């Protein structure tokens, strides 16, 4: 694939002045945005932090550049520097040219002419990025007014409606008067996009635009961005930590590490032929949702360097398995890679990392751990947790003095499943599907729960006295999503780990011994026990959380989004640890996660939840490779895969709208309102979906299969609740990107 | 919205009833007007005292509960808040004084709010600059001076000005000079009486608003939505003025609930020091005269002011914060 | 730490801090160090301590006491015999100031400490029990807020002939009434803070471990609202001293023969021009007292709260420690 968008187009050996000069004269004339030697320094109390250290790129109209990196890599600072939105104390040097006009050094006032006009930006957190006290309409119209003072009020309103319609907000005219808080996160992000494209920008910068959103909503928003780019012809800078998100969208990729681009090039080169160990590590650290193969993930040990001191060698060297003494001698420049002049990597060994080198050859991934339970058939293993018809209904009341019950929110509605020894069972679904409520019902074991929760043979019905409760507690421990919030900031690690042990009545000497064991078990240095949680990195904190859960030797560990708050490279380490602990200690896991790739990687069985009900359940490979329920199909289709070819060509199901409020759930199938299969059904068949509730049933092998196979076919471990499995998908909800979009020169 | 206000209103009525009743019991059990009567010269006999008290509905021989029932019946059936030991009717006395108090505070409350918020915004815009340090230090100073002493110092200052000029520019006590010709002279006289107390109350009051407004605005200056506004093409100052300012009003509006009663409480001191015969000075006099009914009435008045402040705050909050509107 | 944004240079700086922190420093040590580094706060503390000491031992430096009349020195300005002069009645002002300061500090400390204690118990109970109990307790609290404290003070301290009055000195009565009306604001704050703490994952984690509720309150809740409690104590002490002065000033707080700063100031208002020292001396002491408390409060708030912007200059010096604290609420 050829690309006119060039990154790092100048010879790095030249001096900065020369490069700037050359950039001004010889940058491709039609580049809308060209950045040269961008440097950003912050004066902090600890010294000068050099957050961005020399970035060059040219962006051509209609093209997309993906900037990929972990937190602290300087990617967001870069975008804000281009927009001129950094605090005045930040020192920005280099050159940023928009259609040949220099932007750096312009006053705030002068920048206003470009911001929101030719240069627009979409921010990460849609919840806080809109002013809460103004209507959505006011905020869109404001963007129009600033740059088109002469535009009539009517014209502006018409344009605002048009924009809202373009980003896919239903009944846009009425929604103009709505306030941001009346919109869901996905809707707000659409509004943000509408504001950004209001004045047909030439360059649109999107800074992690979908990170805070559910996968299905992420797919919608990415689609909106794609459409916005088509409509406006804008060049897009897409900033993300998720290699999957940009695989399908970007033409070029820039991988950043420690404030510097470490590898740049066309998207295919980066994904299929990475030449920098860090890029290889990043790709290897991400589990794939579309691959069943169970190999361990590649963790990148250590932490990114702080940017207070100028690195004397390669900044990745301390974490790089290939590092040699030569790597420490001066920071390698971004140099062309042998195979293609546009592909550049900042690694002295890039030439030896050609196409055939596998990431597993470079990074030492631990061996795939094998649990002693893996050999025993599932049916013969003991049950550690059993849920039978568990429900959690909240009354919804209205009325000032006398409360009237106007409905019931069925957060969890008749859930049944069991977890056997040594297995990992996952629950997936969008936020609001009832995953977390399910966990709470399990963890709190109220005796007045309608259904039954049996933990290690003890039912919640018997858990009236403290003693039984204590026994059940010891069987079951939890790891929380946010490792910072889950640790009392005033406790040292020792105190954190001692708490469950003291509670179990252990004596001091035994506690101390056990804590040292635990620290080693989760891969932390035992002599760090006197530190406070804030002295650890996110991944280490999560390890502490895991150690605490394991302290009392539980049989089952409940994991609530255990890696979603972590950087990808750190995430891999924690996932590997969980895998290894399960095998070594014979643990069972109940995992709740929105990241289906992680689920696929570590679970044995999976349940897909929608509005409080399980819509599909079964062995993870079976469900992921052969999803029957339309919701499962949509969910899986929404996950971006870090494989550019696949991303560009595959068809994806884009669900319409958000998760409906449980109050509006229809009588029949909950999913009917958004179902892509339902939409394609003839009305006669739709009737069935609307009136009857489908039950969770195993798929009977089709007649054809039975005829072919003489012997009775074993029923696969998969159940789903749909009348029309594998049904045809409505065309409106099916999107295939024209390959020409990306392959055109 | 109306429903919500109505609900709040009912809650407050119940609260006012409870606080007033509690106040009545406290007053009835600790204030003994009969004892004061006995110190008169010529000293009346205990029978005479009891008789006169009974006629005014202040029978000391009845139990507190019986007196409470009588008193409450009077209010509910006839809106009659009883009589003072000297025979005056509370209702009549009250009417005049409420007007005087309200006149004194209305201007101060508005000035306090406007000046406090304006200075808060001004000092936030000049954070850590000289003006900010002066204004904010002043506000902190106002916090450590008890209100009556501050009023007294302002009064002293006004007297000094009068003395140094050698003419009476400000009146430091009273509400008006008797016998001034109506029309312009009367208005001028009124103003001359008005200025010192109003200035005193305002000077003490705005500090809290200034500090709060400054802090809230600074909290919002770097908010995500301000960044969005700047990304649209507003300059930093425009974005702050149009977006951050409005949002920073929300907590200030909420705090009105506590400031209006606070100013009224300060009013007790102001009336006492500037000799304005309003509700505040009346209540303190009433207590020293062992006047149960007047004390209770002013207590009820105080509770009503608080409730009004709270409802006003609810109202102001809904005005500036759309998130509250949809309940 | 989320994997999402890198905008905050503080995060980068924090990582740097993590690497270099070899020695584990206790939280309280950090807070004390930071407090001590704040000159204003230390000055405030020094003044307050000095005044307290003065109010207890100051009496030994003079032969006069607050009741003895010196018939030869009536209404005299400060002199060698009467350090601060005498009143119109010939009573030594120095002796009265010592006594008055002691009473004012006593009222302030007792009210400040006890009201925060009441508030902590009340607020935590509301948050802990929740539901109906919370509703009823909140109603009582709001009703108490609605009561005009001033009037109740007036009624309680001037109730003629009430038995209560005869048995108790007026300062004790004032303490009781101030206590009744001083804890509600703090209680409400503590309630909302504990409620949000109860939602925090580390409290949930302890619950799921089966740690008994009492221990959760004691080990997790109390330490985490501790900074708030300490701040509210200094704030409460200041407020109580101010209230005493204000009430006594208009004649409804402390009653003669008890002496307090408010009484001294109040009595002297009519003689500002004739005996100015009678007014300005106690007023100055009061300013020193409330001012020193305000300075301490400011320093403490800065020491506890890393995001505080109240002292711009001191911030830079403290930055290192502040960054480390940033993650903690």
Q: Each residue of B244-276: pLDDT tens digit?
A: 998 998 888 888 777 777 776 667 788 888 888
On chain C, the residues whose CB falls within 8 A of the CB of B22 are 147
C23 at interface of A, judged by CB pairs closer than 8 A: no
Grade residue A162 by pLDDT with cuts at 50, 70 and 90: very high
A402 at interface of B, judged by CB pairs closer than 8 A: no
pLDDT at C217: 82
A490 at interface of B, judged by CB pairs closer than 8 A: no
Instruction: Name the token pair of B257.
Output: 């609930």
pLDDT at A140: 94
Distance (Å) of CA B309 to CA A684, B305, C45: 61, 6, 37
Grade residue C28 by pLDDT with cuts at 50, 70 and 90: low
Grade residue A738 by pLDDT with cuts at 50, 70 and 90: low
Residue by residue, DSSP assigns C233-287 as: HHHHHHHHHHHHHHHHHTTSSS-TTS--HHHHHHHHGGGTTTSHHHHHHHHHHHH
What residue of A is the nearest CA neighbor of C325? Answer: A534
β pairing state of A101-102 and A91-98: antiparallel
Q: Subunits touching A (CB < 8 Å, at least 3 pairs)?
A: B, C
| DSSP, res A309 | S
pLDDT at C155: 74
**Kindly report the CA angle at A387 between A386 and A389, in degrees rounded to 5?**
150
Size of interface A-B (CB pairs under 8 A): 84
B177: left (phi over 0), alpha (psi -120 to 50) or beta: beta
* Residue the block writes with tokens 């289906």: A596
What does the alpha-carbon distance between residue A344 and residue A340 come to, in Å, rounded to a whole number?
Answer: 8
Residue by residue, DSSP assigns A89-138 as: TSEEEEEEEETTEE-TT--HHHHHTTBTTTEEEE-S-TTTSS-TTS-HHH
What does the alpha-carbon distance between residue C326 and residue C329 come to, in Å, rounded to a whole number?
Answer: 7
Q: Each residue of C58-92: pLDDT tens digit?
A: 878 877 777 777 777 777 777 777 777 787 777 88
CB contact burial A108-135 (16+ within 10 A = b; e otherwise): beebbebbbbbbbbbbbbbbbbbbbbbb
pLDDT at A23: 40
> Is pLDDT larger for residue C248 or for residue B38?
C248
Q: For chain B, what is the largest distance between any 2 Cα atoms, rounded to a whole number of angstroms?
A: 86
- Residue of B219, B230, B231 to mutate, testing the A interface (most A Cβ within 10 Å of its Cβ): B231
Cβ–Cβ of A565/C224 closer than 8 Å?
no
Distance (Å) of CA A182 to CA A178, A425, A434, A673: 6, 35, 21, 20
Grade residue A399 by pLDDT with cuts at 50, 70 and 90: low
Grade residue A712 by pLDDT with cuts at 50, 70 and 90: low
Cβ–Cβ of A480/C205 closer than 8 Å?
yes
On chain A, the residues whose CB falls within 8 A of the CB of B231 are 83, 85, 115-116, 120-121, 123, 196
Per-range mean pLDDT, top range of A722-736, C64-78, C236-250? C236-250
On chain A, the residues whose CB falls within 8 A of the CB of C6 are 51, 69, 71-77
Cβ atoms A304, A73 nearer than 8 A: yes
* Position A556 pLDDT exceeds 90: yes
Instruction: Evaluate whether the domain defined by C36-327 bears CATH number 1.10.3720.10.
Output: yes
> Is pLDDT larger for residue A395 or for residue A703?
A395
Q: Which of B10, B232, B250 sits opposite A115 (nearest CB)?
A: B232
Cβ–Cβ of C249/B288 closer than 8 Å?
no
Q: What is the pTM of this model?
A: 0.81
Query: How much is the mean pLDDT over chain A?
Result: 84
Q: Each residue of C134-191: pLDDT tens digit?
A: 888 888 888 888 777 777 777 776 655 444 555 677 788 888 888 888 888 889 888 8
Cβ–Cβ of A45/C204 closer than 8 Å?
no
Q: How many CA atoms lie within 13 A of A537 on its CB side?
A: 23
Q: Each residue of C4-17: pLDDT tens digit?
A: 333 333 333 333 34
Going from N- to C-terminal start, the domains of chain C cover 36-327
Q: Each residue of C256-303: pLDDT tens digit?
A: 778 888 888 888 887 777 888 888 888 999 999 999 998 888 778 777
Q: Each residue of C55-65: pLDDT tens digit?
A: 988 878 877 77
Nearest-Cα distance to chain A for B319, in Å, is: 10
Nearest-Cα distance to chain C for B222, in Å, is: 12
Instruction: Name the token pair of A213.
Output: 């959103």
* Position C312 pLDDT exceeds 70: no
Give the pLDDT mean for A648-661. Answer: 80
pLDDT at A347: 87
What residue of C is the nearest CA neighbor of B281? Answer: C250
A39 at interface of C, judged by CB pairs closer than 8 A: no
* Position A10 pLDDT exceeds 80: no
Closest CA to C238 of C180, C294, C301: C294
**Is A303 buried (19+), middle (13-18) or exposed (0-12) by CB count in 10 A?**
buried
Task: Show the low-confidence residues of chain B (pLDDT under 50).
Answer: 326-327
pLDDT at C166: 59
- Residue of C8, C9, C321 to mutate, testing the A interface (most A Cβ within 10 Å of its Cβ): C9
Angle at which helices C312-325 and C9-20 cross, to 10° = 70
Q: Is the ipTM of this complex over 0.90?
A: no
* Position A64 pLDDT exceeds 80: yes
Tell me, letter by letter, the H, E, C secondary structure of B240-306.
Answer: HHHHHHHHHHHHHHHHHHHHHHHHHHHHHHHHHHHCCCCHHHHHHHHHHCCCHHHHHHHHHHHHHHH
Cβ–Cβ of B232/A401 closer than 8 Å?
no
Cβ–Cβ of A85/B227 closer than 8 Å?
yes
Q: Subunits touching B (CB < 8 Å, at least 3 pairs)?
A: A, C
Grade residue A330 by pLDDT with cuts at 50, 70 and 90: confident
- Residue of A133, A191, A401 to mutate, testing the B interface (most B Cβ within 10 Å of its Cβ): A133
Cβ–Cβ of A499/C224 closer than 8 Å?
no
Give the pLDDT mean for C211-225. Answer: 83
Give the pLDDT mean for A123-129. Answer: 88
> Is pLDDT larger for residue C26 or for residue A627?
A627
* Position A685 pLDDT exceeds 90: no
With H, G, I as helix, E, B as strand and everything else as coil, classify residue A431.
Answer: coil
pLDDT at A245: 87
Touching C: B residues 234-293, CB under 8 Å = 261, 265, 268-269, 272-273, 283-284, 287-288, 290
Distance (Å) of CA A414 to CA A357, A417, A628: 50, 10, 21
Sign of CA dihedral A685, A689, A691, A692: positive
* Position C306 pLDDT exceeds 60: no
Nearest-Cα distance to chain B for A115, in Å, is: 5
On chain B, the residues whose CB falls within 8 A of the CB of C286 are 146, 149
- Residue of A125, A130, A132, A402 to mutate, testing the B interface (most B Cβ within 10 Å of its Cβ): A132
What residue of A is the nearest CA neighbor of B243? Answer: A131
What residue of A is the nearest CA neighbor of B327? Answer: A398
Instruction: Name the token pair of B54.
Output: 């009974």
On chain B, the residues whose CB falls within 8 A of the CB of A142 are 229, 232, 234, 242
Cβ–Cβ of C146/B31 closer than 8 Å?
no
Q: How far is CA A144 from the centre of its chain?
A: 33
Cβ–Cβ of B35/C160 closer than 8 Å?
yes
pLDDT at C319: 34
* Position A705 pLDDT exceeds 60: no
What percentage of residues in chain A have a pLDDT greater than 70?
Answer: 89
Give the pLDDT mean for A481-487. Answer: 88
pLDDT at A119: 93
Q: Subunits touching C (CB < 8 Å, at least 3 pairs)?
A: A, B
Nearest-Cα distance to chain B for A95, in Å, is: 20
Cβ–Cβ of A181/B323 closer than 8 Å?
yes
pLDDT at C20: 37
Cβ–Cβ of A116/B225 closer than 8 Å?
no
Q: Which of A125, A132, A146 sits opposite B247 (nearest CB)?
A: A132
Touching A: B residues 10-39, CB under 8 Å = 10
* Position A20 pLDDT exceeds 80: no
Cβ–Cβ of A108/B236 closer than 8 Å?
yes
Touching A: B residues 208-237, CB under 8 Å = 222-225, 227-236
Q: For chain C, what is the largest distance between any 2 Cα atoms, rounded to a whole number of angstroms?
A: 82
């Amino acid at each position: 694939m050829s690309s006119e968008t060039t990154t790092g187009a100048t010879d790095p050996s030249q001096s900065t002045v020369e490069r700037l000069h050359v950039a001004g004269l010889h940058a491709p004339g039609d580049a809308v945005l060209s950045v040269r030697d961008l440097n950003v320094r912050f004066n902090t109390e600890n010294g000068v932090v050099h957050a961005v250290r020399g970035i060059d790129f040219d962006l051509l109209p209609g093209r997309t550049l993906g900037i990929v990196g972990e937190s602290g890599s300087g990617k967001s600072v870069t975008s804000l520097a281009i927009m001129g939105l950094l605090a005045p104390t930040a020192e920005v040097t280099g050159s940023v040219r928009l259609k040949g006009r220099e932007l750096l050094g312009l006053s705030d006032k002068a920048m206003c002419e470009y911001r929101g006009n030719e240069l627009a930006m979409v921010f990460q957190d849609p919840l806080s990025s809109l002013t809460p006290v103004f209507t959505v309409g006011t905020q869109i119209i404001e963007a129009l007014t600033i740059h088109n003072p002469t535009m009539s009020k009517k014209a502006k309103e018409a344009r605002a409606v048009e924009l809202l319609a373009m980003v896919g907000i239903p009944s846009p005219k009425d929604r103009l008067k709505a306030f941001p808080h009346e919109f869901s996160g996905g809707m707000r992000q659409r509004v943000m996009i509408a504001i950004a494209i209001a004045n047909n920008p030439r360059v649109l910068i999107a800074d992690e635009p979908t990170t805070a959103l559910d996968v299905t909503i992420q797919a919608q928003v990415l689609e909106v961005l794609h459409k916005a780019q088509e409509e406006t012809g804008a060049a897009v800078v897409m900033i993300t930590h998720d290699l999957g998100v940009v695989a399908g969208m970007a033409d070029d990729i820039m991988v950043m590490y420690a404030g510097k681009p470490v590898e740049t090039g066309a998207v295919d080169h980066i994904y299929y032929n990475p030449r920098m160990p860090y890029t290889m590590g990043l790709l290897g650290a991400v589990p794939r949702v579309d691959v069943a193969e169970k190999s361990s993930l590649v963790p990148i040990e250590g932490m990114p360097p702080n940017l207070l001191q100028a690195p004397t060698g390669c900044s990745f060297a301390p974490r790089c398995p290939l590092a040699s003494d030569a790597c420490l001698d001066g920071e390698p420049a971004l140099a062309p890679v042998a195979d293609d002049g546009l592909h550049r990597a900042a690694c002295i060994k890039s030439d030896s990392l050609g196409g055939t080198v596998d990431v597993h050859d470079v990074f030492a991934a631990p061996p795939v751990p094998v649990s002693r339970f893996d050999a025993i058939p599932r049916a013969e293993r003991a049950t550690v947790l059993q849920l039978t018809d568990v429900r959690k209904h909240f009354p919804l009341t209205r009325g000032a003095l006398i409360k009237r019950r106007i409905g019931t929110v069925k957060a969890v509605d008749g859930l049944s499943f069991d977890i056997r020894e040594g297995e990992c069972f996952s629950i997936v679904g969008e936020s609001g599907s009832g995953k977390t409520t399910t966990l709470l019902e399990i963890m709190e074991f109220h005796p007045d729960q309608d259904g039954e929760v049996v933990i290690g043979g003890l039912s919640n019905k018997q858990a009236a006295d403290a003693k039984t409760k204590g026994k059940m507690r010891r069987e079951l421990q939890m790891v929380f999503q946010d490792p910072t919030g889950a640790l009392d900031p005033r406790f040292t690690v020792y105190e954190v780990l001692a708490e469950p042990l003291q509670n179990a009545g252990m004596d001091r000497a035994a506690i101390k011994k056990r804590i040292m064991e635990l620290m080693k078990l989760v891969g932390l240095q035992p002599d760090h026990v006197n530190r406070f949680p804030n002295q650890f990195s996110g991944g280490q904190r999560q390890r502490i959380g895991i150690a605490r859960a394991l302290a009392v030797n539980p049989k089952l560990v409940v994991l609530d989004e255990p890696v979603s708050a972590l950087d990808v490279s750190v995430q891999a380490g924690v996932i590997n640890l969980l895998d290894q602990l399960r095998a070594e200690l014979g643990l069972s896991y109940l995992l709740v996660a929105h990241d289906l790739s992680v689920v696929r990687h570590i679970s044995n069985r999976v349940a897909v939840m929608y509005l409080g009900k399980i819509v599909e359940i079964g062995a993870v490979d079976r469900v992921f490779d052969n999803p029957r329920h339309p919701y499962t199909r949509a969910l899986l289709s929404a996950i971006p895969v870090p494989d550019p070819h696949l991303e560009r060509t595959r068809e994806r199901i884009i669900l319409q709208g958000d998760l409906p409020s449980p109050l509006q759930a229809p009588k029949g199938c909950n999913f009917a309102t958004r179902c892509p299969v339902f939409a394609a059904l003839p009305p006669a068949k739709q009737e069935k979906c609307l009136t009857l509730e489908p039950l969770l049933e195993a798929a009977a092998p089709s007649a054809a299969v039975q005829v072919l196979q003489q012997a009775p076919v074993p029923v696969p471990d998969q159940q789903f609740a749909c009348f029309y499995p594998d049904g045809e998908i409505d065309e409106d909800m099916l999107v295939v990107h024209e390959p020409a979009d990306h392959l055109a020169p | 919205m109306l429903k919500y206000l109505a609900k709040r209103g009912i809650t407050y009525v119940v609260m006012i009833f409870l606080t007033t009743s509690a106040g009545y019991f406290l007053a009835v059990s600790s204030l003994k007007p009969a004892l004061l009567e006995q110190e008169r010269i010529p000293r009346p006999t205990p029978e005479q005292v009891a008789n006169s008290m009974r006629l005014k509905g202040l029978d000391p021989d009845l139990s507190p509960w019986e007196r409470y029932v009588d008193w409450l019946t009077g209010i509910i059936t006839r809106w009659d808040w009883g009589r003072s030991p000297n025979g005056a009717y509370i209702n009549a006395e009250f009417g005049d004084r409420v007007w005087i108090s309200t006149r004194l505070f209305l201007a101060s409350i508005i000035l306090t709010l406007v000046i406090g918020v304006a200075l808060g915004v001004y000092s936030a815009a000049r954070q850590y600059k000289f003006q900010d340090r002066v204004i904010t230090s002043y506000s902190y100073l106002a916090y450590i001076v008890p209100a009556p002493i501050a009023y007294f110092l302002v009064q002293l200052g006004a007297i000094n000005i009068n003395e140094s000029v050698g003419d009476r520019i400000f009146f430091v006590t009273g509400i008006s000079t008797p016998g001034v010709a109506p029309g312009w002279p009367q208005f001028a006289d009124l103003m001359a009486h008005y200025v010192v107390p109003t200035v005193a109350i305002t000077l003490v009051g705005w500090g809290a608003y200034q500090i709060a407004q400054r802090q809230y605005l600074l909290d919002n200056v770097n908010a995500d939505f301000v960044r969005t506004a700047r990304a649209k093409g507003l300059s930093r100052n425009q974005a702050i003025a149009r977006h951050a300012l409005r949002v920073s009003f929300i907590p200030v509006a909420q705090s009105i609930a506590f400031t209006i009663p606070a100013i009224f409480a300060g009013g007790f001191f102001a009336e006492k020091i500037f000799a304005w015969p309003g509700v505040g000075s009346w209540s303190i006099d009433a207590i020293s005269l062992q006047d149960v009914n007047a004390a209770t009435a002013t207590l009820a008045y105080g509770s009503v002011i608080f409730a009004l402040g709270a409802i006003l705050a609810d109202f102001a909050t809904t005005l500036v914060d759309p998130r509250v509107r949809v309940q | 730490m989320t994997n999402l944004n890198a905008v905050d240079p503080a995060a980068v700086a924090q990582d740097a801090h993590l690497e270099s922190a070899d020695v584990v420093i206790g939280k309280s040590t950090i807070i004390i160090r930071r407090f001590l580094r704040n000159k204003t706060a230390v000055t405030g503390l020094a003044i307050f301590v000095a005044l307290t000491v003065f109010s207890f031992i100051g009496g030994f430096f003079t032969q006069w006491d607050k009741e003895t009349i010196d018939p030869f020195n009536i209404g005299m300005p400060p002199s060698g015999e009467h350090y601060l002069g005498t009143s119109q009645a010939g009573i030594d002002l120095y002796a009265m100031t010592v006594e008055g300061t002691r009473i004012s500090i006593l009222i302030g400390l007792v009210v400040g400490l006890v009201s925060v204690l009441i508030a902590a118990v009340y607020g935590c109970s509301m948050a802990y029990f929740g539901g109906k109990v919370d509703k009823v307790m909140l109603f009582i609290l709001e009703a108490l807020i609605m009561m005009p404290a001033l009037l109740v003070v007036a009624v309680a301290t001037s109730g003629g002939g009430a038995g209560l009055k005869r048995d108790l000195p007026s300062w004790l009565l004032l303490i009781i009434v101030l206590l009744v009306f001083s804890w509600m604001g703090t209680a409400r704050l503590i309630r909302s803070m504990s409620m949000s703490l109860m939602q925090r994952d580390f409290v949930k984690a302890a619950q799921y471990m089966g740690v008994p509720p009492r221990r959760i309150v004691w080990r997790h809740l109390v330490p985490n609202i501790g900074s708030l409690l300490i701040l509210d104590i200094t704030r409460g002490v200041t407020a109580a001293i101010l209230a005493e002065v204000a009430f006594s000033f208009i004649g409804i707080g402390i009653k003669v023969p008890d002496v307090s700063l408010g009484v001294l100031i109040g009595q002297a208002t009519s003689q500002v021009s004739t005996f100015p020292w009678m007014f300005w001396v106690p007023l100055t002491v009061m300013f020193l007292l409330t001012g020193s408390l305000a300075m301490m409060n400011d320093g403490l708030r800065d020491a506890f709260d890393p995001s505080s912007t109240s002292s711009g200059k001191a911030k830079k010096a403290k930055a290192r420690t502040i960054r480390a604290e940033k993650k903690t609420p």
